Amino acid sequence: MHDDDIRRREPTPEEHDRLFRRAVLDRVLELHPTHLRVVELVLEITAGADESFEGSDAIERAVRDLTGAGLLHCPGGIVMPTNAALCSAELSEEDGG
């Protein structure tokens, strides 16, 4: 495969999910200490442009996966980062990342 072919291909489902997990975690960390409901987070990430089921489903799946990984709390549908996520983000910033 040529480099151009690799760049043009559609992401695999796993890559797609990873991109959404990264987008969700980044946005939640950027907004902290503000907390949003999942539906508000969908609007934040998509800027209201993707009102499709697939877009909101991917974000909801990312919230679920990140909650399961211990990076987000979602009590009552309100999304917030865990202390582990905040600490990791702080360390990444200190490392220049």
CATH of the domain at 76: 1.10.10.10
The encoded tokens of residue 57 equal 């489903």
Taking residues 15-41, report their average pLDDT.
95
- Residue linked to tokens 């990140």: 66
Query: What is residue 30's predicted lDDT score, i.e. its pLDDT?
Result: 95
Report which of residues 20 and 46 the model is more confident about.
20
**Quick check: is 3 in a domain?**
no
Pairwise CA distance, residues 76 & 72, whole Å: 13
Look at residue 49 and tell me whether its pLDDT is greater than 70.
Answer: no
Look at residue 80 and tell me whether its pLDDT is greater than 90.
Answer: yes
The CA–CA distances, whole Å, from 22 to 59, 66, 71, 79, 95 equal 10, 9, 11, 15, 18
Look at residue 22 and tell me whether its pLDDT is greater than 80.
Answer: yes
**Quick check: is 4 in a domain?**
no
- Provide the domain limits for residue 70: 11-94
pLDDT band at 70 (very low <50, low <70, confident <90, very high): very high
pLDDT band at 71 (very low <50, low <70, confident <90, very high): very high
Query: What is residue 52's predicted lDDT score, i.e. its pLDDT?
Result: 61
**Quick check: is 1 in a domain?**
no
Pairwise CA distance, residues 60 & 20, whole Å: 9
Q: How far is CA 32 from the centre of its chain?
A: 14
Q: How many domains does the chain have?
A: 1
**Quick check: is 6 in a domain?**
no
Q: How close are the terminal C-alpha atoms of the chain, in Å?
A: 31
10: left (phi over 0), alpha (psi -120 to 50) or beta: beta
